[in-house]
């Protein structure tokens, strides 16, 4: 049964959303934490990520970064103006934010170049084997899932957790100062934008998903959305594993010594 949801509380407070959404987010929290606890962020901020792993990270995530506006466009195709309040809200939001995302690919290339990975490699070479899972999953759910599933997997789950790991890296003075002053601002622009404390995109996406689903969706539908969120998180965990495969043993050894 879909009873209409209209948020009355603050956008960025979880208690403003239906109980089913609060429970879903809580159920996914431990999987999200696996992303945030991943060794790759600690290695990066400690400047202990070797060049091969840095390349794997930049090149492995590049297809996802480049395709992200396309995932949003695939979800936009599912909307129909006037069909429901959720459709109308999703349509307006997706149209507006596809434009916001248009420059992020260039900012990612600038970050890669500042980190020593030439943009020509990202543009012209295949991504490292084993890093394709995140891109494939987001394209699959955006093309073939429901509108709610597509947005919860990409704009809520991935954008949300990306904002948090970006913040961890951007707050590292050691990492920021590893870039030459002449290129630092341009190289770190992608990180700066995604680490913004006032980034409300994931909350806006959750608001849209709740508007689409209503106050009392079926348990099966809620479970499906939760599985989509967890799959997004796990796809990022596995991508991180693949990126640091060649230097993980060095990090473990250094941590043991410390």
Tens of pLDDT, residues 37-56: 999 999 999 999 999 999 99
- pLDDT, position 42: 94
Dihedral angle of Cα 139, 157, 50, 196, to the nearest 10 degrees = 120
Q: At 3, is the pLDDT very low, low, confident or very high (cuts 50, 70, 90)?
A: confident
Tens of pLDDT, residues 205-220: 999 999 999 999 999 9
Helices (H) and strands (E) in the chain, counts: 15, 0
Helix ranges, the chain (H) = 19-36, 39-45, 51-76, 85-101, 104-114, 119-124, 133-144, 147-151, 159-170, 173-176, 181-187, 189-194, 201-213, 219-243, 248-257
Tens of pLDDT, residues 58-97: 999 999 999 999 999 999 999 999 899 999 999 999 999 9
d(CA 59, CA 118): 10
Q: List for the chain the helix, strand, coil content (%; round to 5).
A: 75, 0, 25
At residue 83, the 3 state secondary structure works out as coil
Q: What is the mean pLDDT of residues 186-208?
A: 89
- pLDDT, position 41: 96
Four-residue CA torsion sign, 203, 207, 212, 217: positive
Structure tokens at 36: 């945030």
- pLDDT, position 251: 46
The pLDDT of residue 255 is above 60? no
What does pLDDT average to over the chain?
Answer: 92
Share of the chain above pLDDT 90, in %: 86
The pLDDT of residue 245 is above 80? no
Helix axes of 219-243 and 19-36: crossing angle, nearest 10 degrees: 10
- pLDDT, position 52: 93
Q: What is the mean pLDDT of residues 141-163?
A: 97
22-257 is classed CATH 3.30.70.20:
no
- pLDDT, position 253: 45
Task: List Cα–Cα distances, 6 to 16, 24, 52, 138, 140, in angstroms.
Answer: 10, 18, 48, 28, 29
The structure tokens 């995604």 sit at 194
Say how many C-beta atoms besides its own lie within 10 A of residue 61's C-beta: 22
d(CA 38, CA 43): 9
Among residues 104, 118, 130, which one has the least CA distance to residue 54? 118
- pLDDT, position 202: 95
Tens of pLDDT, residues 97-142: 998 888 899 999 999 999 999 999 999 999 999 999 999 999 999 9
In this predicted model, which residue has the larger pLDDT, 219 or 258?
Answer: 219
- pLDDT, position 49: 93
Q: At 248, is the pLDDT very low, low, confident or very high (cuts 50, 70, 90)?
A: low
């Amino acid at each position: 049964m879909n009873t209409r949801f209209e948020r009355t509380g603050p956008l960025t407070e979880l208690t403003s959303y239906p109980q089913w959404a609060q429970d879903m987010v809580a159920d996914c929290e431990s999987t999200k934490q696996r992303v945030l606890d991943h060794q790759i962020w600690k290695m990066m901020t400690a400047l202990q990520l070797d060049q091969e792993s840095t390349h794997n990270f930049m090149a492995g995530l590049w297809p996802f970064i480049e395709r992200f506006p396309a995932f949003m466009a695939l979800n936009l195709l599912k909307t129909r103006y006037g069909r429901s309040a959720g459709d109308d809200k999703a349509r307006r939001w997706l149209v507006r934010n596809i434009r916001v995302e248009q420059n992020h690919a260039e900012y990612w290339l600038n970050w890669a170049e500042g980190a020593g990975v030439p943009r020509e490699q990202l543009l012209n070479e295949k991504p490292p084997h084993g890093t394709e899972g995140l891109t494939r999953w987001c394209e699959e759910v955006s093309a073939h899932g429901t509108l709610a599933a597509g947005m919860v997997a990409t704009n809520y789950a991935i954008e949300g957790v990306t904002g948090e790991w970006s913040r961890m890296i951007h707050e590292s003075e050691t990492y920021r100062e590893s870039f030459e002053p002449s290129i630092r601002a341009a190289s770190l622009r992608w990180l700066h934008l995604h680490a913004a404390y006032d980034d409300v995109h994931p909350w806006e996406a959750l608001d849209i998903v709740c508007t689409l689903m209503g106050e009392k969706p079926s348990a099966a539908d809620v479970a499906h959305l939760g599985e989509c969120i967890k799959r997004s998180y796990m796809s990022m965990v596995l991508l991180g594993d693949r990126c640091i495969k060649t230097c993980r043993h060095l990090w473990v050894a250094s941590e043991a010594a410390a």
